[in-house]
Amino acid sequence: MTADPTFEIAEYISSVTFEDLPEAAVANAKVAILDTLGVMLAGTRLRAGRQVIEYASECGSRPVATVAGTRLRTSAELAALANGVLAHVQDYDDRWHASVQTLPAALAAGEAADVDGRELIVAYVIGRELRVRLDAQFRAGRRGDGDRSTAPGWRGWHETGVFGVLGATAAAGHVLGLTARQMATAIGIGSSLASGLIANFGTSAKSLDAGNAARNGVLAASLAARGFTAEPTILTARRGLIEALCFPGSRPVEPVAASLRSGFHIADRGVEVKPYPCASGTHQYIETTRMMRDKYRLRPDDVTEIVLTWDADDTNKRRFATDELEAKFSPSFAVIATLIDGAVTLDNCQDDFLKRPDVRRLTAVTSYADSADGFVQIRAADGGVYREDLMPRVNYDTAEERHAKFYECAAPVIGHEAARGLHEMTDGLERVGSVRELARLLVTDAR
């Protein structure tokens, strides 16, 4: 086989070992894995999460992999599907959304194959690396950088599902020990299964993009291991994945293969752990409202008008929320929830909260203004008008913050003792003899 970029990527994926990972990559991978396991468990609290659990349960299959936050064990594919949806449905996962396909795929395939913790780390890291590198090469444009018309995301392709399936394929393929040739074929299979649309943001289908990518990654790797065929040069092939997503020649794939061998993104850039269970685009509104709430001593009952800015080109947001998933993409909800509770939380990002009289009243006095300058403006009952430019978003940067988030997510579902055990096992994941030990701690008697 010639040195085609697809094969170069496949060769890289199949050759990386635990010893190749720098200490920072392993340490940051454990941060991301713990965070993802936590938000996966928190996903069982939302209706869409429960629906995918019910679906997986009704399908019935050989019980080889665990669905987080349940007693359900099912096929590796169905477990990857369910856990991928659960990991993404709260929109609480890390900012690159590079864990919600790769970890569920690696975890499900790894539990079925009974691999150790070191192999899980490697599979997760290389799946994440491929996902992030593809994102960097082909995402440019959705936020206005470069020529937006040539970017798949600008035209509606959701990278979490489209490129996420290749990250999941890499993770599952590594667990299954695919050769470079088999991995190239798996990438070809996974490319035919790549999908996801940005118009579905604010609905259950957004998290399905992650779950479907995880499931299809396991499927692609499993079929390739059995000799199933696909085009092994799919990324550069005529009418292959990249040509189908991009205008011919506008975004070459060769830099992706080269960048994988240049170092580890997770070691150099770390993991951006989100502090709020909602889309990143709403976090600036939360930070700004938190500041205004304290600075001007604003009380929800005293607010008579809220004016927010709206970017007409930003199709990722919902002006007003009608359910708990739309709330995660609504600037107005972010401001209202923060005025009432101090932030968007797992508790207020729920259907019941939206039905409250105080939330409905504040929604009724909220409007949007078209403006090049992002701001939040609040009028109080005493006639005061307070306006502040949007503040930058922040991340959880300390271990204490990240651990508190994990227990907030995990303890209500599996109990504090199991959550502590999961935390300790993830901290020493490279010493865990079987991924099945980790999976056992994800089980609850509640479902």
302-347 tens-digit pLDDT: 999 999 998 765 656 788 999 999 999 999 999 999 999 999 999 9
218: tokens are 């396991």
Please state the rounded mean pLDDT for residues 400-424. 97
What is the third-level CATH fold of 5-275+399-440? 2-methylcitrate dehydratase PrpD (1.10.4100)
pLDDT of 415: 95
Please state the rounded mean pLDDT for residues 95-99. 93
**Helix extents (H) in 202-307:** 204-225, 241-245, 254-260, 265-269, 283-295
Residue-wise pLDDT for 365-382, tens only, equals 999 998 778 999 999 999
52: tokens are 């995918």
pLDDT of 371: 77
Please state the rounded mean pLDDT for residues 358-369. 96
Q: Report which of residues 316 and 68 the model is more confident about.
A: 68
Please state the rounded mean pLDDT for residues 14-35. 97
Q: Which amino acid is at 231?
A: E
Q: Percent of the chain at pLDDT above 90?
A: 84
Q: Predicted confidence band at 244 (pLDDT cuts at 50, 70, 90)?
A: confident
Helix (H) or strand (E) holding 140: none
Indicate the range of 74-78, 311-315, 428-432, 434-438 predicted with least confidence. Answer: 311-315
Q: pLDDT at residue 442 above 90?
A: yes
129 neighbors 106 (Cβ within 8 angstroms): no
DSSP string, 332-384: HHHHHHHHHHSS--TTTSSHHHHTSHHHHHHHHTEEEEE-SS-EEEEEETTS-
pLDDT of 318: 86
The CA–CA distances, whole Å, from 424 to 113, 234, 253, 416, 429 equal 23, 41, 40, 12, 8
Please state the rounded mean pLDDT for residues 389-402. 96
pLDDT of 190: 98
Q: pLDDT at residue 272 above 90?
A: yes
Residue-wise pLDDT for 105-116, tens only, equals 999 999 999 999
Q: At what angle do helices 164-175 and 180-192 cross, to 10 degrees?
A: 150
Rounded to the nearest angstrom, the gap between the alpha carbon of residue 109 and the centroid of all alpha carbons in its chain is 19
Q: Predicted confidence band at 444 (pLDDT cuts at 50, 70, 90)?
A: confident
**Helix extents (H) in 226-328:** 241-245, 254-260, 265-269, 283-295, 324-327
Burial 232-245 (b: 16+ CB within 10 A, else e): bbbbbbeebbbbeb
pLDDT of 222: 98
| Arch. (CATH architecture) of 280-389 | 2-Layer Sandwich (3.30)
pLDDT of 249: 65
pTM: 0.94
Helix (H) or strand (E) holding 182: helix 180-192
Please state the rounded mean pLDDT for residues 96-122. 97
Residue-wise pLDDT for 143-181, tens only, equals 444 556 667 777 778 899 999 999 999 999 999 999 999
Q: Which amino acid is at 184?
A: A
Q: pLDDT at residue 238 above 80?
A: yes
pLDDT of 313: 59
For the chain, domain boundaries: 5-275+399-440, 280-389
- Specify the 3-state DSSP secondary structure of 193: coil
175: tokens are 């667990």
4 neighbors 32 (Cβ within 8 angstroms): no
352: tokens are 């019941």
pLDDT of 145: 46
pLDDT of 147: 58
Please state the rounded mean pLDDT for residues 275-286. 95
Q: Predicted confidence band at 138 (pLDDT cuts at 50, 70, 90)?
A: confident
pLDDT of 373: 81
pLDDT of 148: 60
CA dihedral 112, 123, 102, 191 (to 10 degrees): -100
Q: pLDDT at residue 403 above 80?
A: yes
Q: pLDDT at residue 140 above 50?
A: no
Residue-wise pLDDT for 183-221, tens only, equals 999 999 999 999 999 899 999 999 999 999 999 999 999
